[in-house]
Amino acid sequence: MKLDKPVTGGPCWTELGTSDLDGAKRFYAELFGWRPETDARQEAGGYTVAHLGEVAVAALTPLYQESQPVAWNVSFAVADADEAARKVTAAGGTVLLGPMDVFDIGRFAVAVDPTGAVFQMWQARTFPGAGVFNTPGSLGWVEVLTRAPERAVDFYTTVFGWSVNASEHYTQWGIDGADFGGMMRMDDKFPHEVPAHWLPYFAVSDADASAATATGAGGTVLMEPRSMADVRRIAVLRDPQGAMFGVYADLQRG
């Protein structure tokens, strides 16, 4: 992505809700070199922040509700979570949780867009989000997969004011033209039961090596590594608990 830090309207954080927190810690430590730190406070509910060195890059959490799927979730930065929640509702989305305060670090809400994709919104106080983007092991792209892309464009441009860079094959989202993510239409290749969803992509040095490491650690390769216009090599993976995510290597950097 063309963003190098969280900005209002852009992705700022990504969280994994998992059925096996300890297993997820081991898997992502092996895959990305993450160092997990679990908040010891009872009220934190096992919330674990993954670090690259001393920099926070993502979170791993237990499942907090029976209906919560094992999945990665993407958070977008907002100036006012309550106002953003009102915009979501007015634009045809639904607020599933919050807005609510998270200690003294920020205010948080979970929502679903009109096409069925769940996302999160984060109003920062003391914690702005990921400390780095685009370096190996950190978030580098976010993508919504939906069966109703036209409706998604209307919704997200209304709620977040994103710029849209659309071609025949792919739509990219941006903040004032600085692209940070994209959108893919879900066709008949996707099973009917797979809902619309947001998919985070993490930067890696070598997509093929990362796919092999994920497999060796108990994960699954859902989309084999492939090159995109000789610019990036990407793969889509699934961790041992079932959460999907992407990896990409910038070929122009070797």
**pLDDT per residue over 225-252, tens digit each?**
999 877 899 999 999 999 999 999 998 7
- For residues 12 and 193, the model is more confident at 12
CATH number assigned to the domain with residue range 11-124, chosen from the 4 options 2.40.50.140, 3.10.450.350, 3.40.50.170, 3.10.180.10: 3.10.180.10
Q: For 53-62, what is each residue's pLDDT tens digit?
A: 999 999 999 9
pLDDT of residue 7: 96
Phi and psi (nearest 5°) for 167? -120, -175
Average pLDDT over residues 126-147: 97
Do 47 and 98 contact (CB within 8 A), yes or no? no
Q: Choose among 86, 64, 59: nearest CA to 75.
A: 59
pLDDT of residue 253: 58
The enclosing H or E element of 210 equals: helix 207-216
Instruction: Kindly report the CATH class assigned to 139-253.
Output: alpha beta
Indicate the Cα dihedral angle 114, 173, 17, 90, nearest 10°. -30
End-to-end alpha-carbon separation of the chain, Å? 17
Would you say residue 162 has pLDDT above 50? yes
The enclosing H or E element of 41 equals: none
Q: For 201-220, what is each residue's pLDDT tens digit?
A: 999 999 999 999 999 999 99
Q: Choose among 199, 140, 150: nearest CA to 171.
A: 150
Q: Is-same-fold flag (11-124; 139-253)?
A: yes
Burial of 79 (C-beta count, 10 Å sphere; 0-12/13-18/19+): exposed
Average of per-residue pLDDT values in the chain: 95
DSSP type of residue 254: -
Tokens matching residue 135: 């370096």
Instruction: Report the percent of the chain where pLDDT is more than 90.
Output: 85
245/143 Cα distance (integer angstroms) = 10
With cut-offs at 50, 70 and 90, classify the pLDDT of residue 221.
very high
pLDDT of residue 254: 44
Would you say residue 12 has pLDDT above 60? yes
- Tell me which of 34-43, 75-84, 135-144, 238-247 is least confident: 34-43
Instruction: Report the percent of the chain where pLDDT is more than 70.
Output: 99
pTM, to two decimals: 0.95
What are the sequence ranges of the domains in the chain?
A: 11-124, 139-253
Tokens matching residue 210: 């990362």
82/159 Cα distance (integer angstroms) = 12
With cut-offs at 50, 70 and 90, classify the pLDDT of residue 167.
confident
